[in-house]
Amino acid sequence: MAIRSDEITSIIRDEIRSFTEGADVAGVGTIVEVGDGIAQVYGLSGALASELLEFPGGVMGMAFNLEEETVGALILGDYTGLKEGDQVKTTGRVVQVPVGDALIGRVVDPLGNPLDGKGPIETSQFRPVERIAPGVIVRQPVDTPVQTGIKAIDSMIPIGRGQRELILGDRQTGKTAIAVDTIINQKGQDLICVYVAIGQKLSTVAQIVAQLEEHGAMGHSIVVVAAASDPAPIQFLAPYAGAAIGEEFMEAGRDALCIYDDLSKHAWAYRQVSLLMRRPPGREAYPGDIFYAHSRLLERAARMSEDHGGGSLTALPIIETQAGDLSAYIPTNVISITDGQIHMQTDLFNQGQRPAVNAGLSVSRVGGNAQIKAMRQVAGRLRLDLAQYRELAAFAQFASDLDKATRDQLTRGEKLTEILKQPQFAPLSVERQVAIIWAGTNGYLDDVPTPKVKEFESGFFRFLDQNHPDLLPTIASEQAISDASQDAFRAAVTAFRQDAGFGAEETAA
């Protein structure tokens, strides 16, 4: 950071000029108890709810509990230097974060302080961290997709702009990978991504930032970090700060995506501060308003009506389950708040089904309206085929000889499952997804050996690019598969199968 000595001189000069003028007026109180990231402050009778408080040494705090004689304050910083009897001042401002374009590409803490060593954040725009969600009048239905670039999700569990889609699963099932891939897939598009890391290891966060940078995704992203080593009050504030940053874009008529990774740790942080503040514990010792804490956060995701700029804020909360227990308190709460969930499973992950999305338990309650027509045309069949496959696969384990229809159904399901596998950091454009799913659901992969499906897919894309360079762009521009495209596809697949020798070996064998 470059310090220009003339600037400093002028500031000091101004300060000295105004030295004799006026006095600071502030409400004051005295610390009577401090520790564990919270303080009880006697006095402060004029404090506002969630007002920013100033402790000695420049440490900031937030008024959390307003009581008759004392104020319970969350300390947003290092509390080790504070002691009983220290003076606390009000600031007249509620807790706020800097917002706007200056934040794009930056890594910040929930108060907007930069953590990436790229200098100060040059913005004069601030927003309160907490805000009431937009009302019914200013909203409109979700009708535009967020393309995650992941076949399994864009086809079967589509996410719309302004939707809240929960990603939940045990640890190590690829929840964060889906979020990161979604961010990477927005490269060169109009969706601004805010990734909020709550209670994660700093090494993990650094790794995610490095991955985003490596894939050129920091140019449209903001990372808000409240690491595991940060005090619980900071972790508690982080998702609200992320939502405020996203809202600024939404209200400017732009589209934003906010990923909260993860809300289980947010619930822990909130439980910690609530218990320290002696709010009565409820189920699993979470405070009584944990549901409200999450619902007011996720309600802030919205698609604004055209009269209000038409912007959107999409929320992708992440919840980590313990040993697959979906009926624990926090997972059920967040499932009921959100517009659907993507369920990740350890056994699928270990079987090599990655992303380990359980298509049976995952739903998207509004995203279907947001799918482009081409995807809807192929996805209906895909969902049906997979559902039948799952049913038969369980049943067929006990049967020795099966009729042909059953065998065909099983083969189809096997190939489709194989198609839905996708490596990390390889998001696909929607027209490519449509192309391969179309081929799969129309039986063109039924005779391809399962290990060769990957090869078929990449070869097919290459073949389309070389021999039918206008087919995929047509799908992308028409947003649907017209009869002409359907015929073109049929011809292309048949030509490709002959060309690459798929299907031939099977008939020979």
Partner 1 sequence: MAGRDTAARRYAEAAFQVARDDHALDAWQADLSVLAEAVAIPELREVVEHPAIPFAEKERVVRRAVTDVAAGPMNLILLMVRRGRPAAIPRMRLHFEELVRRDRGIAKAEVRTALPLGNEERAELAQTVERLAGRQVEITEVVDRGLIGGVAVRIGDQLYDASVRSRLERLRARLTTI
Active-site residue list: 365
Q: Which of 6, 17, 19, 352 binds partner 1 (CB under 8 A)?
A: 19
Write a three-state SS string for 43-92: ECCCCCCCEEEECHHHCEEEEEEECCCEEEEEEECCCCCCCCCCEEEEEE
One residue of 12, 387, 484, 504 binding partner 1 per CB under 8 A: 12
β-bridge mates for residue 194, sequence order: 222, 258
For partner 1, which is the closer residue by CB, 13 or 171? 13
Tokens of 329: 């308190």
Name which of 216, 222, 198, 211 is nearest 116 in CA terms.
Answer: 222
6 lines the binding site for partner 1 (CB under 8 A): no
Q: Which residue, 31 or 428, is less far from partner 1 as judged by CB? A: 31
CA distance 157 to 130: 30
CB of 19 to partner 1, least distance (A): 6
Looking at 67-75, 256-264, 415-423, 470-478, which segment touches partner 1 (CB under 8 A)? Answer: 67-75
> Beta partners for 255?
191, 312
> Among 17-25, 326-334, 417-425, 483-491, which window interacts with partner 1 (CB under 8 A)?
17-25
- Size of interface with partner 1, in residues (CB under 8 A): 30
With respect to partner 1, which residue has the nearer C-beta, 45 or 332? 45
Greatest CA separation found in the chain? 98
**Shortest Å, Cβ 281 to partner 1:** 14
Question: Distance between the two ends of the chain, CA-based, in angstroms?
Answer: 70
Select from 46, 81, 85, 443 the one that contacts partner 1 (CB under 8 A): 46
Binding flag, residue 69, partner 1 (CB under 8 A): yes
Q: At what angle do helices 290-298 and 263-276 cross, to 10 degrees?
A: 140
Contact 107, 225 (CB under 8 A): yes
Contacting range for partner 1; rule: CB under 8 A; set: 20-28, 130-138, 207-215, 453-461: 20-28
- Chain centroid to CA 228: how far? 19
Closer by beta carbon to partner 1, 98 or else 149: 98
∠ CA 435-436-442, rounded to 5°: 90
Pick between residue 43 and residue 145 the one whose CB is nearest to partner 1.
Answer: 43
Region for 425 from its dihedrals, namely left if φ exceeds 0, alpha if ψ lies in -120 to 50, beta otherwise: left
SS3 449: coil
Q: Rounded to the nearest whole angstrom, what is the least distance from the CB of residue 48 to partner 1 in the complex? A: 13
Q: What are phi and psi of 503, to 5 degrees?
A: 90, -35
CA 270 to chain centre: 20
Whether the Cβ atoms of residue 168 and residue 343 lie closer than 8 Å to each other:
yes
CB of 242 to partner 1, least distance (A): 23
- Give least dist CB 277 to partner 1, A: 9
Indicate whether 278 belongs to the interface with partner 1 (CB under 8 A). Answer: yes
Question: How many beta carbons lie within 10 A of that of residue 200, not counting itself?
Answer: 19
For position 307 contacting partner 1 by CB under 8 A, the verdict is: no
Query: Does position 407 bind partner 1 by CB under 8 A?
Result: no
Stretch that binds partner 1, among 6-14, 163-171, 343-351, 433-441 (CB under 8 A): 6-14
Taking the complex as a whole, the smallest distance from the CB of residue 109 to partner 1 amounts, in Å, to 15
x-or-dash pattern for partner 1, window 199-238, by CB under 8 A?
----------------------------------------
From 37-45, 218-226, 417-425, 440-448, span contacting partner 1 (CB under 8 A): 37-45
Spatial contact of 350 and 173, defined as CB atoms under 8 Å apart: no
| 336 three-class SS | helix
Given the complex with partner 1, which of 91 and 377 has the nearer CB atom? 91
Specify whether the CB–CB gap between 472 and 428 falls below 8 A: no
Applying CB under 8 A, which residues contact partner 1?
Answer: 3, 7-8, 11-12, 15, 19, 22-29, 32, 43-46, 58, 65, 67-70, 87, 89, 120, 278
